[in-house]
Chain A
Amino acid sequence: MGVPAAHVPTVAGERPSRFSKLLRPFAFMSMPTAVLVLLFLVPMGILVYFSFQYGDLTGQSGFTFSNFSDILSDPLYREIALTTFEIATIAMIAQLIVGIPLAYVLAYKAGRFELPLLLALVLADELNPMVRIYAWRMLLGREGLINEALTSIGLIDAPIDALLFNKFSVIVVLSTSYLTYTVIPIYASMKAVDAGLFEAARDMGAGWFTTFRRVLLPLIAPGIFIALLLVYVPLFTDFAAPTLVGGTTGYMLGNVVSDLVLENGNLNAGAAMSFLMLLAAALFSLVAYQLSRVKQGGK
């Protein structure tokens, strides 16, 4: 064709010299990578190191597994772990029960309201979580607005105490805090589904439930796994909501870490607890991530 081969652009531009081959990645990646190493990997490493150390008041320190064995053998921690699991799981299921239909409405039914609703969801996430927790406390409390309203119209005689400072209020607050991150990945995976499939399913005699279970659900499974990744893991570690609306029955693992580190000043035990939670989170994330890829056909 008369064009010298050297001038044919390759994917990476013209064939780079050895110098620029090293220099360009360095120019772009050195700073971000340095930040990640220095402020993420190193602190994480120190956290793991600390979780295998003991230190007592006499200044002695050394290697130990006791931080872990103490945590794992303590029945109180086991109970708190169970409570945490229960609260996080119920909150997650509640969000999926609301989130999947809501994503469906957004993707296929909302029409010209689709974008405003999407924006509303994003906005709900941008609102300060502390403000939201406070707002719920104001609503659910003994002298809260719900109780006041119900008493004043005579529906109840005495205020209901069961609304605040228990598992229920923690679940309500957590579910509303993370709903955006549940709905949007599912919505995004639904947008990629051809709506003609539903018609085809209906023409072939499938009812709505069969269509949902056999057609839609397998196709949006990757979105659901991403929602689990983004929401279920942080639900396990939340501690602001349980502290402020959980009372004594809504005490979660996040509170344990916070109390160990800040109230007791026991960095080693706090580090060990954090490390265990990190391991659980990593394991869960890996499984959810792999599942989300398998369902996409291994892309």
Chain B
Amino acid sequence: MPLSRRIQRALPNALSIALTGLVLLILFGPVLLLALFSFNDSTVISLPWEGFTTRWYSEALNDDGAMTAIGNSVMVASIVTLASLVLGTLASWGLTRIPFRGRPLVAGVHGAVLVVPWLIIGVSGLIFFSQIEMSLSLQTIILMHIVVTFPLVVAVVSAGLIRFNPSLEEAAIDMGASQLQMMRYIVLPQIAPSLAAAAIFAFAWSFNNFEISFFTGGFEQTFPVWVYGVLRHSSNLPVVNAASTVIAFAQVLLVFGLWYGMRLMTKRRGGTDRDAAELVTGAVR
């Protein structure tokens, strides 16, 4: 094969690899460097490398602000995830399986929450709570997180329910199963991977949410609000490095763990990786 032809053939592949590599570098490079420099024995984050240390980690452990913020975020995100799974599953069943008057309108409101920017939700929450004279705290953060997060669960779980043929449910009922048995043995196993995917997204949405926590948290700080505050005043940066590295690492583990679990679940009922991927991409769609 003449060289020019060979280059012509190889070029798109080379371009694909270059593009993918570049994107991965831009997306993950900075965070990896941040992790690397959390082990640098220097109060400023810059070259040259001063030597390996874990002292920023022990400082982070003793930093009240950091630990409180992380604890708050974990608690808020856990409660929000649970509440969103319950509300979201109820609503997805109602919206996909039960015909009722005004269903398009109700579905539309669920969708609208997802496109209203969090900044505006945050401001509306701030004004709302000040009007009903509820003081801002973790509780108000949780309430506002739930209202923006459970419609995401609805989107993911509804996608799962739409794909799944309702005639199986009717068959179960016809063969004498109670509503509860039908839910437990027919529906739940089918939507379990969707629920797992929804849980990943719900937790991450709440944990990473900055705007709403910032406006409706009062003096209480979640992790993103704490980082924002520290960065604004540029103090104690290596501790932020250490804390951020731990959080990023935990998030990687969480995503991989749940992904692995989802794959197991879809595989066990004869699905493929592709089905699991569908769930993940379905959520963003």
Contact = CB atoms under 8 A, between A and B. Distances in A.
A115 B12 contact: no
- Chain A contact surface mostly: helix
B124 A43 contact: yes
A35 B144 CA distance: 10
Contacts of B166: 11
Contact of B33 (A39, A115, A145, A243): A145
Interface string A123-152: 111111111111111110001110011001
- The CB with the most chain B CB atoms within 10 A, among A149, A181, A188, is that of A188
A90 interface: no
Interface in A135-171: 135-139, 143-145, 148-149, 152
Given A43-B128, A47-B124, A129-B210, A32 B146 contact: no
Given A9-B170, A39-B144, A143-B46, A109 B211 contact: no
Contact of A127 (B116, B248, B277): B248
A179 interface: yes
Interface stretch (B59-67, B85-93, B186-194): B85-93
Interface extent on B, as a size class? 35 or more
B284 A184 contact: yes
A65 interface: no
A13 B170 contact: yes
A270 B282 CA distance: 35
Given A138-B45, A176-B27, 8 more contacts: A39-B146, A46-B124, A105-B16, A123-B255, A126-B208, A128-B248, A134-B240, A239-B119
Interface residues of A, number: 96
B221 to A, nearest CB: 12
Interface string A225-253: 01001100110111110011000000000
28 contacts: A25-B100, A28-B91, A31-B87, A43-B124, A44-B124, A46-B128, A47-B123, A109-B12, A113-B20, A123-B252, A124-B27, A128-B207, A128-B208, A128-B247, A128-B248, A130-B224, A139-B33, A145-B33, A152-B48, A184-B281, A187-B281, A188-B282, A230-B284, A233-B115, A240-B224, A261-B126, A277-B117, A278-B116
